[in-house]
Amino acid sequence: MAEPLRVVVTGAAGQIAYSLLFSVAKGDVFGKDQPLELLLLDITPMMEVLNGVVMELMDCAIPLVKNLVATDDPNVAFKDVDAAFMVGAMPRKEGMERKDLLKANVKIFKAQGQAMEKLAKKSVKVVVVGNPANTNACILSKYAPSIPKENFSCMTRLDQNRAQAQIAAKLNVSTEKVSNIIIWGNHSSTQFPDVAHAKAEVQGKVVTVPEAVQDDNFLKNEFIKTVQQRGAAVIKARKLSSAMSAAKAACDHMRDWFIGTKGGNWVSMGVISDGSYGIKEGLMYSFPVTIENKKITIVQGLSINEFAREKMDATAKELEQELSDALAECVD
């Protein structure tokens, strides 16, 4: 059997982690034959709750879990980790935008970046879930400069999954019949869910999503708005932010990173821009990517029309502002 992978989950006593830990532990992400050491980090006042989570994980009696460590010490949690789910951060409440969390959350990612710099494996693969996810991921990477920038990402997979589910519902097909929807930009209400290059299988025939849906007005308006506002809609209904679907998306994201994408399909991830599609270098921007041997490659050469260009630039502009606000918060 392989050596155990060391996987840290921050915010481990919170609601996303409660679903995420179960899926990770039973092999949904790293494979059914991959043993795991799970490192669970939360803050000191949450240690009793976290101990309850540990008890439950033990009681699941999952053979892949070789070691469980619950801690409030980043020096313990990030030591030699291979994969990191960075969930620990305050969630927004009804009426807030995700960027309103910047002041509260960005310093968490500065401190955890500094801890990762000292302790994590240089090959660690990191997904940031805590909001504002793109900017937090940028800050995390900035404070862990010896870890390659391409090892940091943020989660826009929930937006991709939401978009896929909306199109599947519109076409009355199962979700796996819809692929290659792109989420461009920020995990915020300026994100651009783009179906221009997406495919759908309808009655045995694969066509583009615009051809299948035959309703440009819906695709340019209601669809985009629904995806952009889905997080807020869940908060309004549940009085809590999405958790089950967020955990599922985090698993999808990390599984694709470790196992790879398949069959010419791409997925969306926030990654550090290399200037592709005219997006300023250094921004943590969501692009369509493919993954092979754990290497992420931004899909190149997609045609971008005027409608898309405007939306891609607007979300980039918001990210530039967020990053500059975050850097100001990080000055001691």
Ligand X SMILES: O=C(O)C[C@H](O)C(=O)O
Ligand Y SMILES: NC(=O)c1ccc[n+]([C@@H]2O[C@H](COP(=O)([O-])OP(=O)(O)OC[C@H]3O[C@@H](n4cnc5c(N)ncnc54)[C@H](O)[C@@H]3O)[C@@H](O)[C@H]2O)c1
Partner touching 193 among ligand Y, ligand X, none, CB below 5 to 8 Å by kind: none
In the complex, the smallest distance separating the C-beta of residue 270 from ligand Y, rounded to whole angstroms, is 9
Query: Both tokens of residue 307?
Result: 């409608």
User: How many residues at the interface with ligand X, by CB under 6 A?
Assistant: 12
Q: Does 131 bind ligand X (CB under 6 A)?
A: yes
User: Inter-axis angle of helices 306-330 and 102-119, to 10 degrees?
Assistant: 80
The answer to whether 11 and 70 have CB atoms below 8 angstroms apart is no
Q: Does 186 bind ligand Y (CB under 6 A)?
A: no
Binding residues among 132-171 for ligand X as defined by CB under 6 A: 158
Task: Pick the piece of the chain touching ligand Y (CB under 6 A) from 26-34, 218-226, 238-246, 284-292.
Answer: 238-246
- 187 catalytically annotated: yes
CA distances from 120 to 53, 80, 114, 126 (A): 24, 4, 10, 10
Query: Which H/E stretch holds residue 253?
Result: helix 244-259
Q: Does 227 bind ligand X (CB under 6 A)?
A: no
Task: Pick the piece of the chain touching ligand X (CB under 6 A) from 8-16, 107-115, 226-234, 286-294.
Answer: 226-234
User: Inter-axis angle of helices 244-259 and 15-25, to 10 degrees?
Assistant: 40
Answer for which of 40, 158, 312, 323 binds ligand Y (CB under 6 A) is 158
Query: Both tokens of residue 275?
Result: 């200037």
Q: Does 131 bind ligand Y (CB under 6 A)?
A: yes
Nearest C-alpha neighbor of 201 from the set 166, 162, 173 = 173
Q: Which residues contact 293 (CB under 8 A, 6 or more apart)?
A: 260
Distance CA 224, CA 190 (A): 10
User: How many residues at the interface with ligand Y, by CB under 6 A?
Assistant: 28
In the complex, the smallest distance separating the C-beta of residue 93 from ligand X, rounded to whole angstroms, is 9
Q: Does 231 bind ligand X (CB under 6 A)?
A: yes
DSSP state of 172: T
Nearest C-alpha neighbor of 82 from the set 123, 41, 28, 132 = 123
Partner touching 129 among ligand Y, ligand X, none, CB below 5 to 8 Å by kind: ligand Y
Partner touching 234 among ligand X, ligand Y, none, CB below 5 to 8 Å by kind: ligand X
Answer for which of 5, 6, 8, 11 binds ligand Y (CB under 6 A) is 11
Please give the residue whose beta carbon sits closest to ligand Y in the complex: 14
Binding site for ligand X (CB under 6 A): 91-92, 98, 131, 158, 231-232, 234-235, 241-242, 246
Catalytic site positions? 187
